[in-house]
Chains A and B, each alone.
Chain A
Amino acid sequence: MSGYTNGLRPDLALITEWIEPGSRILDLGCGDGALLAHLAKTRNVRGYGLEIDPDNIARCLQAGVNVIEADVDDGLKDFRDGSFDYVVMTQALQATQRPDRVVSEILRVGRTGIVTFPNFGHWRVRLALALGRMPATPALPDTWYGTANIHLCTVADFEDLCRERGWSVRRRSLMGTDLDLSPFSRLMPNLLSEVALYMLEAPDRA
């Protein structure tokens, strides 16, 4: 991706703005703990990250971020219903065994869920496929054989799933990364946004 906001990935910077100060957060697949460290510093947010990669776990410990070694695919059974204000999963939903079940778990444990994923409907992806190739784009840089992404979806697919499961979309942000396409991406989000961010709530809380 092109730009970094204060050293923070743009989707993480946007999530930071969505989160109420002083809240309690669980970050699934927290990577090096950048989001949690930033939220702790700027918003007095307390929380935990889940991570399975030993290198990332060491980075979190280095950053003073609470990190719990756990596989999101095993579910969030160690966490109680509604025990977090927010459960966040950035750019990892498409790498899980069952994204629909993961979102259900997110909305069980968190009062609010925030998920971000690369939009497989972006024009770069479509162009690559139209030319007969698996896409290699800024948001999806890996080779088809080396990628961890096993359940890619488009913005339209994801919104279908939300409707089907009754998850209510409280906020949505669609980010293009190479151009400021915001007026256009509102019109054709599935074509023009490279990364999608959703704030969701479970039906009984909506």
Chain B
Amino acid sequence: MPNTGVPGGFPADSVGLVTPRNVAIERPLTLDCGKTLPRFELMVETYGELNAARSNAILICHALSGDHHAAGYHAPPPGQKPGWWDSCIGPGKPIDTNRFHVIALNNLGGCRGSTGPNTANPDTGKPWGPDFPIVTVRDWVRSQALLADALGVRQWAAVIGGSLGGFQVMQWAIDFPGRIRHAIVIAAAPKLSAQNIAFNEIARQAILSDPEFHAGHFYAHGVVPSRGLKLARMLGHITYLSDAAMREKFGSMLKSGVMSFNYDVEFEVESYLRYQGQSFVDRFDANTYLLMTKALDYFDPARDFGDSLADAFRRATAKFLVVAFSSDWRFAPARSREIVRALVEAGRDVSYALIDSQLGHDDFLMPLPEYNRVLRTYLGRVGTESEIPPIPPFAKGEERVLPPLQKGAARSAGGFE
């Protein structure tokens, strides 16, 4: 990436040096599983200024292995990698930090500083490990709403997320219609397919069957289930790339030109997967991986609405932008069209762009010109309307966070329109 015209040697369109901070939520959160966390902490990063009307805040929801470090650098270059969506977030970038106040977090149950399996259980003083409750996408959205309260954001100009992040965006629009003006759902699906769940199950089995997993209590043994976690990540990476991209990137030529008749690395793709798997082990927690895959599997916003996604979306009032990538087979464009179809049926405002792409699911993290133009153009309008302050303050005593949905309780959704 180009110029380094900014003090500290950061690229000119970078948010520069960023410092994560820990936000303690001193309010109880009752989870879908029935357990209650009396308090919790979330790691966040913010970029750009919140305007006086507090109308320009954007929430970034991360995918399976993401975290709060979405943009900028934790230390000056060289040698530093920027946040996971730095291509999209920054001054003058599609999510323009000159206009928007961008908030990124590490989700509850994560392993990058937010309350999760690798943080201390207050009852025991030891890591939660497998005792950390399995959270759902709905739980995440509720925890994010409490975070918004803590940060003084009553209504998001937009909530944006790709993949599992996109699931959270849809849930936001359904569960908190008054608190989100625009929902940007990228490379997502209305729920997982049997094939998606199957991949997750193999990943979980890889971790669970690693002898060093110790039923999730590996912290006490001073080990990590690195073989299982590595296998899980290798499998994941296959689903993030298209067949064509793998062919282009690695080919299927023997590295040395001759067969060596053993199980060492002989093909490029093997060394890629081993490298990706190994580097993941060094930065990720096995219990968090299990929990994240389960949250993916459980996600199905239609479940509470008689399996009608359109009925679920009838509660939403946000305007939607849905984006899919032609080479993505993990959450293929047909899955995004299911979302669009349900939104149209529900009479909601929605635009849909299919981006011509090569890489596969991972394209949602890439600075593809067409993709960037769609986001930039859409968010340009969001930014313009955010300059007019439309949001009334909370009425006194108004419930800010909806209680957990009781199964079947919200079948008639008319009151939310």
Contacts and interface: CB of A to CB of B under 8 A. Distances in A.
A66 B373 contact: no
Contacts of B25: none
B350 interface: yes
User: Which residue of B321, B352, B373 has the most chain A CB atoms within 10 A of its CB atom?
Assistant: B352
Nearest to A48: B344
Contact of B351 (A54, A61, A79): A61
Interface string A63-90: 0111111100000001110010000000
Interface stretch (B47-55, B375-383, B390-398): B375-383
Interface residues of A, number: 20
A46 interface: yes
Contacts of A57: 351, 353, 374
Contacts, number: 48
A interface secondary structure, majority: mixed
B350 A66 contact: yes
A83 B343 CA distance: 13
B81 interface: no
Interface size class on chain B is: 20 to 34
A67 B344 CA distance: 11
Contacts of A79: 341, 344
B149 interface: no
Given A46-B347, A48-B350, A78-B344, A58 B373 contact: yes
Contacts of B321: 61
Contacts of A64: 381
21 contacts: A24-B347, A54-B370, A57-B374, A58-B373, A58-B374, A58-B377, A60-B351, A61-B374, A61-B381, A62-B380, A65-B351, A66-B350, A66-B351, A67-B351, A67-B352, A68-B340, A68-B344, A69-B352, A69-B353, A78-B344, A79-B341
Q: Please name the 3 residue pairs, one residue from A and one from B, whose CB atoms are nearest each other, closest first.
A: A61-B377, A68-B352, A69-B354
Interface of B: 321, 337, 340-341, 344-345, 347, 349-354, 370, 373-374, 377-378, 380-381
Interface of A: 24, 46, 48, 54, 57-58, 60-62, 64-70, 78-80, 83
